[in-house]
Amino acid sequence: MDNNQKYNIIFAAFAILGILIFHEIWAQQRSITAVPYSDLERLLREGKITELTIRENVITGVLREPDAQGRTVVVANRVEPQLAEHLLQYGVPFTRVHESRFLVTVLSWVVPALIFVGIWLFIFRKFSEKQGMGGGFMNIGKSKAKIYVEHQTGVSFADVAGVDESKAELQEIIDFLRAPDDYGKLGARMPKGVLLVGPPGTGKTLLARAVAGEASVPFFSISGSEFVEMFVGVGAARVRDLFDQARKTAPAIIFIDELDALGRARTAAGFGGNDEREQTLNQLLVELDGFDSSSGLVLLAATNRPEVLDPALLRAGRFDRQVLVDRPDKIGRIAILKVHMKKIEMATDVDPSQVADLTTGFSGADLANLVNEAALLATRRQGSAVGMQDFTLAIERIIAGLEKKNRLLNPKEREIVAYHETGHALAALALPGSDPVYKISIIPRGIGALGYTLQRPTEDRFLMTREELEYKIAVLLGGRAAEKLIFNHLSTGAADDIARATDIARSMVTRYGMDPDIGFVVYEDNQERFLGQQGPSGFNGCKISDSTARQIDASVRKIVDDTFAMIYTLLENNREVLERCARLLLEKETLLEKELLELTADMKRQENYPAEPGR
């Protein structure tokens, strides 16, 4: 039973006691009516009273029958000192009660006070929880770590797919926790800390819980942000308390999620909350130096921002090992999909490999969400199983956004969008090495997408040549080229395509050294962070002259202009195919890969990319 339940029970008990006291007083006041003493004597003479109870100050008489007012008991003040002798002449039995006022006094003063104290404690407890004070001032320095044992985590390596290399790295941790004495017989020691590094959604937290489940040891889980509070010294106290708890239950695993919230690099001067965070980090460093890895205590941590961590935290002897948990490749995506597909009713036409082809760049969390979205779509259409169509629609919803069926385009806009999307598709089909087109549609989706072209990569790519990058630019510019060829005007629909094409061209010149006139020199900071996060654009930290900047701009423009001219010529040579596909797209609103291949069977394709002079 946790503290919240205890406080609730105590408050409920006090409330029930107060209600009972109130009810008793109210009942007595309702059934007893005070009368003059003369009326009491009159009732006695008339024989209407069957029994008397004499107290110190009052006399209570029980009526033989209820009177006209419905009274069954009458009370009168006692006025004669020798009342007993006077009452004997009536022959009515009577008694006298000697009662103590001590209990009444205690109940009337102490019980209400206890009720108010209970209410105050209950309110203060709730307020403390909302303010993050850990259940009151007495527990403010206690660790908030959640403790799990093997059957409570419910996660093993069988539940984690697509990160085989990471699991192999952590297998040593499991072997050590199972048999720490045998593992160190050659003099080796286990790493004190293991840092799981990877983009969001790749399964770092799940992997840590799987390690605890495999090793069958207690698992202390806490977020980095839960250490730092508004009170100075609380974070350091919680770090000490966490490690004290873990030492008592060793062998055990301490897992700190979102380590960057706690271990951010320290600055020259800290004030206020920043100083409190640095004190907490210092205490964590001390604890890492203080415990012996042979005791069976292992510290796991996860972050998706390793570049902001303090160098002292990552040095040897603290977090000795860094394990990369990256986005899965195709084989990993297939394995992850199979894990999640076991939980739903699948149709026979679903091929995990085909779904993996359409989900390049998806993380494990993205794939889990994809399977759930597909199941929801199948439920919505009242299907008996989740089919491949549901997965395709779920992928389109995640990538392009929700269908906007109420967004009606006028006939002219629909025609422009149809030729635009067909231009993308024909450019991808005509250029060698481009990803195959899986589907094109002119159904509006998301916030601003009036249509979309969905390509299906045949394999994961980790290296690209200049020609392949130019092909990507050509596919992006295919929509603008088709608009200019058919309508001889330009629209705003290609704004995002042009921005992406320009970024690729600028990276080719300033980062990849692919322009012969500029040379093999980097003129731009690496904007891509360790985990694929984009930083600010510009030439930050790179000193270049104005003439070099103008030359870079000219080279970027030349790449984009030459690529646009090439794809425009290619579409012009296939204008009949372009119009044929666009007309059918206007009619059906969606074209699949099989239909596109049939429509473009006679299309003139680009076999070799023409080499530019001087390349």
For 240, 243, 314, 317, the CA distances from 264, given in Å and listed in that order, are 19, 20, 11, 18
Q: Is 454 in contact with 439 (CB distance < 8 Å)?
A: yes
Spatial contact of 409 and 375, defined as CB atoms under 8 Å apart? no
Beta carbons of 453 and 612 less than 8 angstroms apart? no
**Cβ atoms within 10 Å, residue 69:** 6
Rounded-to-integer distance, Cα 579 and Cα 576, Å: 5
| CA separation for the pair 288, 281 (Å, rounded) | 11
In this structure, what DSSP letter does residue 534 have? B
Instruction: State how far the alpha carbon of 52 is from the alpha carbons of 18, 57, 456, in Å.
Output: 31, 13, 99
Q: What's the one-letter identity of residue 104?
A: V
- Please identify which residue in the block is written with the tokens 């004499």: 54
For residue 280, how far is the Cα from the chain centroid? 25
Distance of CA 237 to the CA centre of its chain: 27
Asked whether 129 and 121 are in contact (CB, 8 A), the reply is no
Q: What is the DSSP letter of 350?
A: -
Strand (E) or helix (H) holding 344: none
Whole-angstrom distance, CA of residue 157 vs CA of residue 170: 10
Beta-carbon contacts of 106 under 8 Å, excluding residues fewer than 6 positions away, are none
Q: Is 129 a catalytic residue?
A: no
CA 344 to chain centre: 23
Q: Which backbone phi and psi does 112 adopt, to 5 degrees? A: -60, -35
**CA–CA distance, 63 with 67 (Å, rounded to integer):** 8
Say if residues 205 and 148 touch (Cβ distance below 8 Å): no
Candidates 229, 276, 287, 421; catalytic one: 421
DSSP three-state, residue 183? helix
| Calpha distance 500→390 (Å, rounded) | 30
Max CA pair span of the chain: 140
CA separation for the pair 591, 586 (Å, rounded):
10
Q: Which residue type occupies 585?
A: L
Tokens 């029970």 belong to 9
Q: Look at the block and give the residue holding tokens 């045949």.
A: 458
Catalytic site positions: 421
